[in-house]
Amino acid sequence: MAIYHFSAKMISRSTGRSAVAAAAYRTAERIEDQRQGLEHDYSNRTGVLSSEILVPEGTPDSLKDRATLWNAVEAVERRKDAQLAREVTVALPHELDDAQRGALVRSFVQTAFVDRGMIADVALHAPGKEGDQRNHHAHIMLTTRSVGEDGFEGKDRSWNSKELLEDWRESWAGHANSYLREIEAAREIDHRSLEAQRDEKLDLKKQAHERGDERAAHELEIEAVELDRDPLPDIGWKAWGMERRGIQTAAGDLWREARGRLEDVRELVSELRERFADTYARVRDVAEQSLGGLAEALRGADFTALKETNDYVREQEREAERSAEKEHDIGIDRERGHSL
């Protein structure tokens, strides 16, 4: 089942980070950091399936080159605590193939970021060899300044609003679900909190009970159980980097523990669904066999003997009633004779 993950963080100098280094690492390339005089070489890194840069209309051709782009970002930012770039990470549905995942990310990035004026550097990553093979994901580095014909201009502070972030989260779910519907996937993703989703399932379960749809109510209860858990913790980019290099971290241990609990919940939910489906199927079969057998018997039955028996019984009942009435009348006459 596809999972929902959307995180957005700033790459800032105040935390000792470099936009050039981040871009080189995300895309598995070798890029020279002209500001610091360092070379960041990650060309031997595996797991990067593809990378590309998407730009708004009117962007200078020079900024379509990765090394030029991120060195220009470093050069235009003067402050020691400058926010250099925004990084968005999304989990990609494992039900899609590589081409579909690429098209999905490209469509979302164009609509959510590029059409708004940002330059986006996109890298699609494959699951790690040692980890969950469903963990397809994308890293999207975004510029924080608007861009004109001559290069970068001022910072657009509206890109930092909480309302816009929530809009991006919802938009990602909408884009991903449109692709999942095309392949007729069993489940879609939801950008809302687990608590909000669970409350909705319980409310729908109550409505199903009220209309007498017990099957739907049981299924909604199972879905509520699946949502009754804590979200997976975000362990931070440093811990993820160390984990990918094979260095186990305390934060990574917490994530694995939470992931184990999630798998336990999913296993329980799968078992509940199997048991519910089996029970429903057996009840349905018994009902069909019972009703079907009765209908077949009625269709082929000879009701002549039954009618004759019923007629005889009714005649005996009438005769008994007549005898009772006669005896009642005789009793009355005797009482009258004694009274005389």
Over residues 185-237, the pLDDT tens digits come to 877 887 777 777 687 778 888 898 888 888 788 787 877 777 777 666 676 66
Q: State residue 327's pLDDT score.
A: 55
Q: Regarding beta strands 83-91 and 151-155, do their DSSP bridges make them parallel or antiparallel, or are they unpaired?
A: unpaired
Q: State residue 4's pLDDT score.
A: 85
Tell me what percent of the residues of the chain surpass a pLDDT of 90.
47
Q: Which residues pair with 121 in a beta bridge?
A: 53, 141
Residue 137 has pLDDT above 60, yes or no: yes
Comparing 286 with 99, which gets the higher pLDDT? 99
Query: Where are the domains positioned within the chain?
Result: 1-191, 302-340
Q: How far apart are CA 31 and CA 66, in angstroms?
A: 8
Q: How far apart are CA 127 and CA 253, in angstroms?
A: 18
CATH code given to domain 1-191? 3.30.930.30
254 closest CA partner among 230, 278, 279, 287:
230
Q: How far apart are CA 51 and CA 58, in angstroms?
A: 21
Which letter, b or e, does each residue of 153-192 get, where b requires 16 or more Cβ atoms within 10 Å of its Cβ? eebeeebeeeeeeeebbeebbebbbebbeeeebeebbebe
Q: State residue 203's pLDDT score.
A: 85
171 closest CA partner among 226, 131, 112:
112
pLDDT tens-digit profile of 33-61? Answer: 999 999 999 999 989 999 999 999 999 99
- Average pLDDT of the residues in 75-89: 95
Q: How far apart are CA 22 and CA 10, in angstroms?
A: 11
- Average pLDDT of the residues in 150-174: 94
Residue 300 has pLDDT above 70, yes or no: no
Comparing 290 with 75, which gets the higher pLDDT? 75
Would you state the structure tokens that stand for residue 264, as one six-digit string?
A: 């336990």
